[in-house]
Amino acid sequence: MKSLNEIMLCAQTRPNKTIAVACADDHEVMQAVSDAVRLNLAHFVLFGDESKTRTIAQELEFDLTNCELVNVPDKEQACLEAVKCVSSGKADVLMKGIVDTAVIMKKVLDKEVGLRTDNLISHVMVIQLPKFDRLIFLSDGAMNIDPSVEDLKKITKNAVKLAHNLGISRPKVACISAVEKVNPKMPSTIKCQEVEKMVENLEIFQCDICGPLAVDLALDKEAARIKNIKNPVAGNADILIVPYIEVGNALYKGWVFGCDNVKSAGIIVGAKAPIVLTSRSDSAESKLYSIALSVLLDKEN
């Protein structure tokens, strides 16, 4: 798949899943839910302040007949109930509403009712940039703060698996740093080199990995040509793996708030079920694309 619209169209052909929304009482969240219902993407269980949710729905002229509302005004409790809804099997997908990521992830990681597995949980942004004719996967700019080399390997595996699920049979993975040469004074370059060895050591299959690479060399063929970087990943990367959370976070927000016509979806993988997770400042469109993406993924993705 080369665009988020393709993901949307594909999701519309799949059987409806049930999505549990934690803290749904927000205009952008409810706009995305309304659009998803209109497009027949999913059913919803909405946890949060029921009165506020109904008021927003009225403003949007959204008929809540096909949604289940659960009145839980306290945000932390709403997150817990939404997570329990998924872990019990009543819902297939968890979605973050108007709540801090740390609050909902605390419930996701709860040892008794949470959604943790033996896998590392990581976040992937799927970005559609006007300049490119392919989707760009960015990980991890939301969950893992300072991942070790072992963590980066697991983050990479999660992102590659997601790309495979979206029909990219052999994704090209760029491990991002500021330069393309290993420098002992720049720890990210050493991390990148170690992750690159993962394919050589047969720790991951069906992808090509190169690192360290600067962002321009990863994405732009002309930049790679000028600097004489001839690795097949250079200028063609599908997946960007960042060494630290602030790198991914700054990249994503720079694109979204600094460029026109950027589209995105955000999802957490590696848990027992897909988790729709976007920034509270993200648009309803981004949340809708994220819902569509989650519909295409199975539990224990």
CA dist., res. 92 & res. 17, Å (int) = 6
* CB-count burial class (<10 Å; 0-12, 13-18, 19+) for 119: middle
Tell me which residues of the chain have a pLDDT lower than 70. 202, 300-301
What average pLDDT does the structure give for the chain?
Answer: 93
Please say whether the beta carbons of 225 and 235 come within 8 A: yes
Highest CATH level, class, for 122-258: alpha beta
Please say whether the beta carbons of 211 and 174 come within 8 A: yes
Sequence ranges of the chain with CATH classification 3.40.50.10950: 4-117+271-295
Spell out the residues 6+ positions from residue 125 whose beta carbon is closer than 8 angstroms to its own.
Answer: 137, 138, 139, 141, 142, 248, 252, 264, 265, 266
CA dist., res. 224 & res. 219, Å (int) = 8
Please say whether the beta carbons of 209 and 145 come within 8 A: no
How are beta strands 275-276 and 239-241 bridged, if at all?
unpaired
| pTM score over 0.85 | yes
Can you give the pLDDT at residue 300? Answer: 61
Can you give the pLDDT at residue 159? Answer: 96
What is the identity of the amino acid at 90? K
Q: In angstroms, how far is the first alpha carbon of the chain from the final one?
A: 18
Sequence ranges of the chain with CATH classification 3.40.718.10: 122-258
Q: How far is CA 157 from CA 176, 226, 234, 277, in A?
A: 16, 30, 19, 19
Q: Which long-range contacts (CB under 8 A, 24 or more apart) does 117-121 make?
A: 117/270, 117/271, 117/272, 117/300, 119/154, 119/158, 119/270, 119/271, 120/144, 120/151, 120/154, 120/155, 120/158, 120/270, 121/268, 121/269, 121/270, 121/271
Pick the CATH number of 4-117+271-295 from 3.30.70.260, 3.40.50.300, 3.30.200.20, 3.40.50.10950: 3.40.50.10950
CA dist., res. 136 & res. 163, Å (int) = 10
**Helix, strand or coil for residue 218?**
helix
CA dist., res. 165 & res. 160, Å (int) = 9
Can you give the pLDDT at residue 1? Answer: 86
